[in-house]
Structure 1
């Protein structure tokens, strides 16, 4: 089949890939984006919040493309901004999933990205030395094609291309191999959200105003099914009592419910993931019926499961630097920073599915070192998103969507620089990259207070 070529090839059209491809194209690179689903937007299309822009101390550290998307969604009616919450995070940023999908499609098109949907990566070719990718093999309607690029960005979530090219990786917990459960969002329409808050909330809800609605509405809150433990256990709605539930929305009369889970699933195994999608769809139906019959505010609702299972954890590459537990706990800063993360470590227990949160230390944010995006032994690919080089604990923070948007934009700028200057990723001028990122709105913390020595960045 006919081959295709570009300057920057981005694999994965979730939030990371959208930011990466948009940034690469805006920086002058001929960019192709590949996505296996028939739409772009990834987990944000389910209506999940874009956690998290603001530290627990009230300082915003996520800007750039991430903030641009929120601003444009507000204009479209698909977001309400960063809303104070005061529970496990300072604020939340809910979005409408369908409008996020629309905006993502528009931004990629505006930037001149060639987006190809329904594509599956089946392999990567490398040069004789095994250090540079020479092409990515993909299956799409019409047959098998090879797409070549100067620089590659793996935003697949599972590090599919990097691993196919020979990158080393860790899957799940380093000791046990266990991974966080997969879930499916339940989308509920025709709800009375204030009644839901009154019935089930265990935290004070985040309240927001919409320009097209007269009263403030609850847009985020945590709940518990403790009142219904007997029914939950008798009807096997959940495997445990006091089950937690998370709600979010930007509307007064529909809401997203995040409470399902299937444990013991390897998200890189298509058979296991397919079985999980079946189980989650059935589980979501039972949860919807339970809500309609028992929880005030849902009595007139109708329900729709998300189109796919959301995967929290699979592979993490072994990069030039691994983000450690202590980096998160101490809020560590790095000389080669390409952005900051302020969402707490969010780990859903691999055995029970219950969520636990662990706060970031120091000023409430830690830096993302550029080296954590660079796989050991490969010179023309960056990995961005939930499969960056990090411990399982640190991954609880790095995997979330605001950090993924930051990493995506930074990877896109870096990949475009490497392609435009005919450089390998490992030969990039990090100070020049940081200057470009700052000019394009990416917040790099206290970088200006550091005296970066380029010699400290060595492949």
Structure 2
């Protein structure tokens, strides 16, 4: 048994936590990052696209560490940039999952972050909203880590809830949450043949310096032409099942189409059940693709190592991002960045995806207040568990917004620790100036004349 201490403790090593810990350490804070898995990078390591950097009108609004990651991945061969799509979004940003994991590890190491793997938060010492320490279960027993400020990037608001934060879980009326999915990665494919057979709109096409010809890197489709086979074999619960494909390679592809409903991502038994069922389900999908879908005939496949959770808890923050904020593209005086990916809701019963556009100029602000739990002093929450309605959560939960929130939270936590102020008392103007200096806003904030209080 031993104790550790630091300036900033970040809980969760997904995309949000990677950005938060990197940003905090770059701001001069002694930073520790806790991650329950044996790797960092979260859902991006499965190969999912980093949705979304560019509005429906073609204006890029996501920069900072999020853009730095894309730039560095391109040099590594693990990204192809922001590629025009013309479907339900203007552009897409596909990445290679394993290279994202490698780069995430490098970013944290370069910044001087201490990363502890295989660690779960199991409790918190809190006094009148001030967290004094966090209990973690790690190899060797339960240990205590103490920090001046804390970033909850767990996705489930684990630390905030242990410290006493109130929250909503799932839909406010029904309690239902979006289904849990598992990505399927297929090798030895012909992406052009797949797109020709199944795409319902023109694919996003890119090139690589190590391959001669352009190839599709993102497209969506429907299994409509195989409805009889799917129904007979019980592969999906509905006809015309939607499927999303992405890649940065002409001979590899990620398949996003599985879903299992009724899973509570905060319940270890429920999530373990989902992992068992989804691993078998995506293997069944893999066999179906090999047998019936052109371009997969010579492929082999690997299920992702874990299930992806879309929705669990959302904290009650000093401000809740509302449906109207999204629909009107609202701008806030305490913004720390913007979101431009449409509201993406997978039906809790069927798993079918529906998209709803963001209003006004195609982007809305992330207010700092939505990241601060009510009645807590030294915790900031970032990622999909921030304060937002279930509808707004459909936009806030995606990975580009999570990278933006992570960077903002990391800088905020470092500044609060250095200035010895609580998170609600932090000078937001100073935070915004720091983020602007780092290229997060690229001057956009200074051009604005209208904000919502």
Name the TM-score class by shorter chain.
over 0.9
Q: Return the offset for 1:445.
A: 7.1
SS of the equivalent of 2:101 reads: helix
SS of the equivalent of 1:216 reads: strand
Q: 1:340, 1:444 within 8 Å by CA — same for their partners in 2?
A: no
Q: Which whole-Å CA distance do the structure 2 matches of 1:296 and 1:24 have between them? A: 47
Aligned residue in 1 for 2:35: 35
> Which 5+ residue runs of structure 2 have no aligned equivalent?
none
Q: Return the offset for 1:39.
A: 0.2
Q: Return the offset for 1:420.
A: 1.0
Aligned residue in 2 for 1:214: 212
Q: Return the offset for 1:211.
A: 0.9
1:148 matches 2:146: yes
SS of the equivalent of 1:334 reads: coil
Aligned residue in 2 for 1:412: 410
Structure 1 residues 389 and 50: CA distance shift in structure 2, 3 A: same
Q: 1:339, 1:444 within 8 Å by CA — same for their partners in 2?
A: no
Q: What is the count of residue pairs matched by the alignment?
A: 453
Aligned residue in 2 for 1:347: 345
1:137 matches 2:135: yes
Q: 1:431, 1:452 within 8 Å by CA — same for their partners in 2?
A: no
Q: Which whole-Å CA distance do the structure 2 matches of 1:251 and 1:447 have between them? A: 37
> Which 5+ residue runs of structure 1 have no aligned equivalent?
none
Residues 204-245 of structure 1: CA distance to partner in whole angstroms, max 9, x if unpaired? 100001011111110000011000000000000101110000
1:361 matches 2:349: no
1:169 matches 2:199: no
Aligned residue in 2 for 1:326: 324
Aligned residue in 1 for 2:247: 249
Worse-matched range after superposition: 440-449 or 163-172: 440-449
SS of the equivalent of 2:211 reads: coil
Instruction: Please give the residue correspondences for 1:11-410 in structure 2 after superposition, counting only pairs within 5 Å.
Output: 11-127=11-127, 129=128, 131-410=129-408
Q: Which whole-Å CA distance do the structure 2 matches of 1:186 and 1:402 have between them? A: 21
Q: 1:183, 1:309 within 8 Å by CA — same for their partners in 2?
A: yes
Aligned residue in 1 for 2:6: 6
Q: Which whole-Å CA distance do the structure 2 matches of 1:445 and 1:330 have between them? A: 22
SS of the equivalent of 1:145 reads: strand
Structure 1 residues 444 and 374: CA distance shift in structure 2, 3 A: farther
Q: Return the offset for 1:59.
A: 0.2
CA RMSD of aligned residues (A): 1.2
Structure 1 residues 450 and 253: CA distance shift in structure 2, 3 A: closer
SS of the equivalent of 2:355 reads: strand
| Alignment TM-score, normalising by the size of structure 2 | 0.99
Q: 1:27, 1:413 within 8 Å by CA — same for their partners in 2?
A: yes
Q: 2:436, 2:443 within 8 Å by CA — same for their partners in 1?
A: no
SS of the equivalent of 2:213 reads: coil
Q: Which whole-Å CA distance do the structure 2 matches of 1:307 and 1:90 have between them? A: 30
